[in-house]
């Protein structure tokens, strides 16, 4: 009779990341699990894309807005929105990084749904969250894609006043990130923009 040995772990296969060359042990061996982290996976996928797929990946989903739509979105962001840079420490196997965040908070989800219809990105709507007793629940609409944030800020920038400085800094941040050769790691320039944005939003 074979008695299992406690504490014995079946050895995992050693794989080499095709992007950075790092040797790692994947938790689950699948055909898609060939890289050591999410950042490397993203670069690996993009390296396998065709030219048409790459152009579509870099093309913003937000359409060119009409003048009234630009003023409307800018007014909503001025009153109930935020333009910020968030620090993401990353999950297991991922490296920390900064990401853009443009979001609107409102007690009426229909307003946020209308914004999603205008920008053609409805899936980032978060359902109402519980608040203090007696207050109405809040809904949140968020945009975090670099290309989408850049294209949106470029269009509404002339219509902003109180948050124009944040929008200008955000435009500088996403332009820098898109031109960056590698998405892995944090540069001093990014940290400086992150700190400055925190000061503006304080």
- 82 pLDDT band (50/70/90 cuts)? very high
pLDDT in tens, 169-192: 999 999 998 887 566 678 999 999
Question: Which of 17, 49, 47, 48 is closest to 33 using CA atoms?
Answer: 17
pLDDT in tens, 137-147: 788 899 998 88
- 1 pLDDT band (50/70/90 cuts)? low
What CATH number did the domain enclosing 70 receive? 3.10.28.10
Range of the domain at 26: 15-57
Q: How far apart are CA 140 and CA 130, in angstroms?
A: 12
pLDDT of residue 92: 63
pLDDT of residue 69: 96
Same domain membership, residue 197 and residue 172? yes
List residues bridging with 99 in a β-sheet.
Answer: 86
Q: Are 120 and 61 in contact (CB under 8 A)?
A: yes
The tally of domains found in the chain comes to: 2
Question: Which of 144, 202, 166 is closest to 74 using CA atoms?
Answer: 166
């Amino acid at each position: 009779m074979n008695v299992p040995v406690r504490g014995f772990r079946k050895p995992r296969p050693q794989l080499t990341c095709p992007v950075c060359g790092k040797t790692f042990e994947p938790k689950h061996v699948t055909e898609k699990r060939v890289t050591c982290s999410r950042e490397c996976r993203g670069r690996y996928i993009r390296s396998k894309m065709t030219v048409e797929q790459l152009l579509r990946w870099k093309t913003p989903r937000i359409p060119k807005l009409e003048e009234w739509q630009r003023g409307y979105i800018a007014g909503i962001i001025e009153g109930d929105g935020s333009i910020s840079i968030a620090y993401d420490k990353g999950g297991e196997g991922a490296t920390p990084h900064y990401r853009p965040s443009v979001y609107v908070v409102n007690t009426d989800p229909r307003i946020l749904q209308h914004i999603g219809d205008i920008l053609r990105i409805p899936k980032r709507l978060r359902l109402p969250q519980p608040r203090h007793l007696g207050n109405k629940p809040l809904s949140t609409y968020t945009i975090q894609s670099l290309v989408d944030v850049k294209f949106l800020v470029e269009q509404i920038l002339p219509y902003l006043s109180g948050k124009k400085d944040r929008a200008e800094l955000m435009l500088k941040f996403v332009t820098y990130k898109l031109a960056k050769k590698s998405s892995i790691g944090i540069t001093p320039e990014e940290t400086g923009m992150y700190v400055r944005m925190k000061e503006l939003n304080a």
